[in-house]
Amino acid sequence: MKKTMSKKRDSRGQKEILCTLGPSSMNDRVIARLEDLGVNLFRVNLSHTRIDDLRGVIDFIKSRTSVPVCLDTEGAQIRTGVFADKELLLEDNAVVRVLKKPAAGGVKGFNLYPLDIVDRLEAGDFISIDFNSALAQVIDRDRDGVLVRVLTGGLVGQNKAVSVERDIKLPALTDKDRKAMKIGAGMGIDHVALSFANEASDVDEIRSLFDKEIFVISKIESLKGLSNLEDIASCSNALLIDRGDLSRQIPIENIPRAQKDIIRRAKACGVKVYVATNLLESMVKSFNPTRAEVNDVFNTLADGADGLVLAAETAIGQYPINCATMVRKIMRQFEGQKKACSVENLRQKDSFLLAEPHGGTLVDRTRYDFDIKEIKRYKCLDVGVNVLLDAEQIAIGTFSPLEGFMNRRELDSVLRAYRLPKGAVWPIPITLQVDKRDAARFKEGDKAALVFKGEVYAVLEVEDIYRYDLDKMAKETFMTNDADHPGVRALKGKGDYFLGGKVTLFRRLGSPYKYFELTPGEARAIFENKGWSRVVGFHTRNVIHRVHEHIQMLAFEKYNCDGIFVHPIVGPKKEGDYGAGIILKSYDLMAREYYPKGKVVMAAFQNYSRYSGPREAVFTALCRKNFGCGYFIVGRDHTGVGGYYRHDDAHRLFDRLGDIGITPIFFNKMHYCRKCGAYVERCGHGGKDTLDISGTEARKILQAGRRPPEWFMRREISELVLSEMGKGAEVFLK
């Protein structure tokens, strides 16, 4: 029968991943994450799936993903039956009966399936059980079955592979396989894997069970299959090398040679070839693979394999997502191997699964080995702390792709179009504002040493000196010229001249919270170390209350995230805002006591609030994108102040700008409903049952020395705040 190609998810030459679904992965979160990682096929192993459960299993998978489902047959294989204790210890020289009739296996006797295989065993046959865990020999027969003597003892499991040294021909499909194919055909399945394909007629037989074209993966796992490989390939869409079952008939030291030969022959036949078994076996229980496994996977790709199959790793392993992530990383390295193998390239950790830095590259304008004598020759420019905070964040990459303070062309583009001149979305002016006298001291091409309290922290390469209309700038940035707006007030309190150019940072500002700070590169390294690839960021300038806690966990769960990056801003803020210390202490308490263990990273964001509403909401998202976050929580009134912005202005701007490389997760005003006993946006109840929660209200209650109710803020958090106030700590800025 003619082979046909699948019409779904054409990989067009890219290496493919096939994942077996099982107890560890048959859930919404793992399936969604595996699909995100680019898994090409989900395998259902019929050897470990009850026929009565199959319809429900297929329904469950197909309702959650567009990735095709592949039914993998039991095939022409002998297996152990059911054991009373799931495992059976066979001891050397013990005599055990292989029973004809079904029974719960034990030390006195057990079944092999298919049951009629007992009638075909002969005295002298050698039987290898559970991948050579035990070796036995048939010594006699009686009416109940055959007697075998254990030559090499070992612990064997139920439903495990058994091989007989003498060739015993078995049907290509079991009765269960035929029933499963009928169910699959009726449910639109068009991918099947044929276990123990021994000859071309086996492939024709499974195709005959479908009334449409199907994608057949023929598994080469026997000597007979090896002998007939070209014939099998001629009527198959792909071959799959099962190194485990193949090693029952080929000495294990010959498997690498066999793998290379099969791949070469498959390529000559023009069919895809996949490789399975023990790719990342250690990751069934361990967070990381062994170096030997990584080397094996890379070299398997180098042999020419079109795809790799994860079996136990994703079906029953503890780290199914990490396994698929690791395979994808190795594939990435394989695809990029033409890149120069320099020391710098080799030391770089591949973080391609995290959000790409904005603009494609994480900026690094730091230089800590500076020559102070050289810097002393530059003209000095005294600047405020906010300028240095911006210079620091530019230099460490938080503001990527910016490499310095904006020139006129960049500022015009950002205010007019929310973009930098080269096209990258950027909503906020990042400028170095000076008065006329300081502007006159410099000319283009100069280098200015940025000085704060007598110390040089950075150097500005002056590329542009320009004057700008502050009224226009305020209106565009803050949507108002009102002098009561804190952002407008700060802008108009300085000169109307600006210096633009690249920044190089030589020293970072000191802070009592420096140990909480992370650079974008450091945060990415931590996420990689934890195995995270899907991170949701949270920006705040408040002590945590219940709604913040609720939306963080809701975003984490709904978007199947690996972790939450809590990143409160700790630089200068306006009067009445929380001080940095109490914010960090409240989140530190949450991380230790209430957040899911190992699912939260907290760091201090050493910058300042600009109070520019929707523009700042996008800006804070892009900053977290540079830290590696792929998702970002945007609440109602995000980064707003007073009544200057509509509640949904930030949401509207995100929609207007389109895809910016980080997904905003929008939340509207939420409240606590007494009747529902939950935090909700709307529920149908109202009146006294609807209780509002806000950061502003929390500050008022705490400033009055009272503790908010438990539904508003955790008792431990409010008691921490009141305790710090009692000690005279700066809980609220004055």
Task: Give catalytic residues, as residue numbers.
Answer: 541-542
Which string of b and e fits 510-527 if b means at least 16 CB within 10 Å?
eeeeeebbbbbbebbebb
d(CA 121, CA 145): 10
| Residue whose tokens read 């996420």 | 527
User: What is the token pair recorded at 397?
Assistant: 């990459």
From residue 440, alpha-carbon distances to 69, 380, 434, 435, 446 in Å are 70, 13, 10, 9, 12
Degrees to nearest 5, angle at CA 490 with 487 and 491 = 85
d(CA 290, CA 268): 33
Per DSSP, helices labelled H in 125-271 are 175-186, 200-207, 223-227, 229-234, 243-246, 255-269
d(CA 346, CA 344): 6
Q: Please give the sequence-ordered ranges of beta strands (E in DSSP) within 260-338, or none if there are none.
A: 272-276, 307-310
d(CA 477, CA 467): 17
Q: Which residues contact 52 (CB under 8 A, 6 or more apart)?
A: none
Q: Which residues contact 66 (CB under 8 A, 6 or more apart)?
A: 35
Q: Please give the sequence-ordered ranges of beta strands (E in DSSP) within 454-590, or none if there are none.
A: 455-461, 464-467, 497-505, 535-540, 563-568
- Could you tell me if 39 and 67 are in contact, meaning their C-beta atoms sit under 8 angstroms apart? yes
HSE, side-chain direction, 13 A CA sphere, residue 71? 32
Kindly report the number of other CB atoms within 10 A of residue 290's CB atom: 13
Q: What share of the chain is helix, strand, coil (3-state, %, to 5)?
A: 35, 20, 45
98 DSSP β-pair partners = 110, 146
| Residue whose tokens read 């090896």 | 226
User: What is the token pair recorded at 697?
Assistant: 């209200």
Degrees to nearest 5, angle at CA 654 with 389 and 572 = 20
What is the chain's length?
Answer: 734
Looking at residue 456, its amino acid is V
d(CA 128, CA 249): 10
d(CA 574, CA 731): 13
Of 230, 216, 214, the residue nearest 262 (C-alpha): 230
User: What is the token pair recorded at 305?
Assistant: 């394999």
Q: Which residues contact 522 (CB under 8 A, 6 or more apart)?
A: none
User: What is the token pair recorded at 101?
Assistant: 């009739």
